[in-house]
Chain A
Amino acid sequence: MEYIIDIQGIKKSYKKRKSKEIIQAVKGVSFQVKRGEVVGLLGPNGAGKTTTIKMMCGLLLPNEGTIKINGIDIGKQRLKALRHISTVLEGNRNLYWRLTVRENLEYFSGNRGLSKKAVSAQIDELLERLNLTHKANEMVNSLSRGMQQKVSIAVALLSNTEIIFLDEPTLGLDIETSYEVRKLLKDIAKEYNKTILLSSHDMPVVQEICERVIIINEGRIVSDERVSDLLELFDTKAYSFTVNSVLSDKNLKEIQNHFMAELELNDGMQSVITVTITHSEDFYKVINLFEEMNIEIDKVDRSIIDFEQVFLKIVKGEMKREIAATV
């Protein structure tokens, strides 16, 4: 199968300005994206997300590796590859603040070789679709941050490319605006059938919009899973056991010798211990272990692990073993 995005072993290192120390921002990242897929690139600050996206846009040259966009090697035929990509870069760096919304849209489509006349109707349609018609003739610097982000997205959509890269699209937005932009991106993914690669450290954005998530940390991919699989995997494997007694250190150690377990509460009356298991049959082994230790279980709850916790655990490396076991 030919992938619309094919990245093989990209590496990027920088020299720090003052100390001349070499920083390895990306240490051999490889992944592929299918046509029409919506993929999230998730990672903490400094993980290498923006560097990866910039290399995919040809704004940064990798030290090693290849990036193919629709079969075109961006390192060799950058301009040809750019015909397939539009990008919403991080922050307020996508628009001319002293131009109006419409002028920005016209200018950027001109930069892609489209005439003002050719895109006029499309601009009207997009402004209407994004609820920006009443702001069309207002200068961008008078718009709210959320509105500006919407205009940036409109610029990307106007290019009519198959691929859209979004670098931290909700960064710096308040909760309400972030929700609005999230909803817009979700609708775009559904309606326009674009291949979207979105980088973020905002978990709900990725959870809500993306089908697949690539988690990157310290310049390496630590996980590449479908969002639903990741959630399912961690959602069903953690249980909270409430016992009507104080769990002794000896008993706790015994449980921890067999399973990944954490004492959540020990208030002198009750103890709550969360056990994370790899296989479903381990659940019965936990019950047996409690029985062997003569500990009466009062309650068993399935712990709900949200995407944020999954992400944190993967980034900390705690869940690498579990992922490896399931892949």
Chain B
Amino acid sequence: MFFGIKVVGDPSSMETNIQYTIVSYVFWFLSMGAMQGIGWSIMSEAQLGTLEQMYMSPMGAWRILLARIVSTTLQQLIILAVLLYLSMLVTGTWLNIDVVSILPVLIFTIISMFGISFMIAGMAIIIKQINAFLQVLQFILMGLTFFPMSISPLLAVLPVVKGVDMIRGIMIQNQTLLDFHWADYASLIANAIIYLVLGILVFKRCERTAMTKGVLGQY
């Protein structure tokens, strides 16, 4: 991919293009894991036949799934860090890794990813075989992580877009948390909370539908 940019890209903007691609690519990778994680988990439990047993937990299935997705995302962040440094090493392009600035934005971005993950999981609970959808979702996620906010401010209502854009600002344009407007934070936090709450509500609604239709344990 980076070789392609070097060969066919505009030499005057090559450095920026590579930096942009690295950040977007790393977030695409992260969003695929975080957004599809619970859906895969539901499908695998249904296939094994253990989904109903998971639903017998007094903790509530959504809490178990949330714990799982948090732990897998943490693992993925380690892989992601390795991937990021490898990408920088391979391309010889160095980004601003300001952990203090990146971390808060990253947390809210991931929270919105979890919201979408719950929505997908809700779908998996009823339909079960959502492999084809997950394949298509990869390209949607690619769009979300690669879209710059400069296209339209309305993109802020979509999950991930605002967060990735802010992180690109930190990593490519060397911005700090102080450089962002309060509206940026408001948009980022509202996006995360709305998607997480909406995701859990959709998931619980789908659970109820599955329990009414009697398809919870079916595969």
Contact = CB atoms under 8 A, between A and B. Distances in A.
A243 interface: no
Contacts of A15: 213
Contact of A97 (B48, B52, B53, B60): B48
Interface string B26-67: 000000000000000000000011101111111110001000
B150 interface: no
Interface in A70-98: 79-80, 82-83, 85-87, 89, 91-97
Nearest to A83: B58
B105 interface: no
A111 interface: yes
B211 A96 contact: no
A79 B217 contact: no
B60 to A, nearest CB: 5
Interface string A33-62: 000000000000000000100100111110
Contact residues on B (Cβ < 8 Å of other chain), bracket: 20 to 34
B214 interface: yes
Contact of B52 (A51, A59, A83, A111): A59
B212 interface: yes
Contacts of A129: none
A96 B208 contact: no
Contact of A93 (B50, B57, B60): B50
Given A59-B217, A60-B216, A89 B53 contact: yes
B57 A111 contact: yes
A74 B49 CA distance: 23
A113 B59 contact: yes
B211 A79 contact: no
Contacts of A14: 213-214
A112 interface: yes
Q: Main secondary structure on chain A at its contact with chain B?
A: loop
Contacts of A54: 52, 214
A311 B118 CA distance: 47
B86 to A, nearest CB: 31
A93 B212 CA distance: 20
A86 B217 CA distance: 17
B48 A96 contact: yes
A15 B60 CA distance: 27
B49 to A, nearest CB: 4
Contacts of B53: 87, 89, 93-94, 108
B56 A61 contact: no
A115 to B, nearest CB: 13
B59 A93 contact: no
Interface residues of A, number: 29
A97 B217 CA distance: 17
A113 B50 contact: no
Contacts of A61: 208, 211-212
B164 to A, nearest CB: 34
B204 to A, nearest CB: 11
Given A79-B60, A87-B56, A111-B57, A59 B216 contact: yes
Interface in B177-213: 208, 211-213
Contacts of A12: 214
Contacts of B211: 58-61
Contacts of A86: 56
A92 B59 CA distance: 23
Contacts of B56: 57, 59, 82, 85-87
Contacts of A59: 52, 55-56, 211, 216-217
A259 to B, nearest CB: 45
Residue among A61, A96, A113 having the largest count of chain B Cβ atoms under 10 Å:
A61
Nearest to B55: A59
Given A60-B216, A89-B53, 7 more contacts: A59-B55, A59-B211, A61-B208, A87-B56, A89-B217, A108-B53, A112-B58
- In order of increasing CB-CB distance, the 5 nearest A-B pairs are A93-B49, A111-B57, A82-B58, A83-B58, A61-B211
Interface of A: 12, 14-15, 51, 54, 57-61, 79-80, 82-83, 85-87, 89, 91-97, 108, 111-113
Interface of B: 48-50, 52-60, 64, 208, 211-214, 216-217
21 contacts: A14-B213, A14-B214, A54-B52, A57-B52, A59-B211, A59-B217, A60-B211, A60-B214, A60-B216, A61-B208, A79-B59, A83-B58, A86-B56, A87-B56, A89-B53, A89-B217, A92-B49, A97-B48, A112-B57, A112-B58, A112-B59
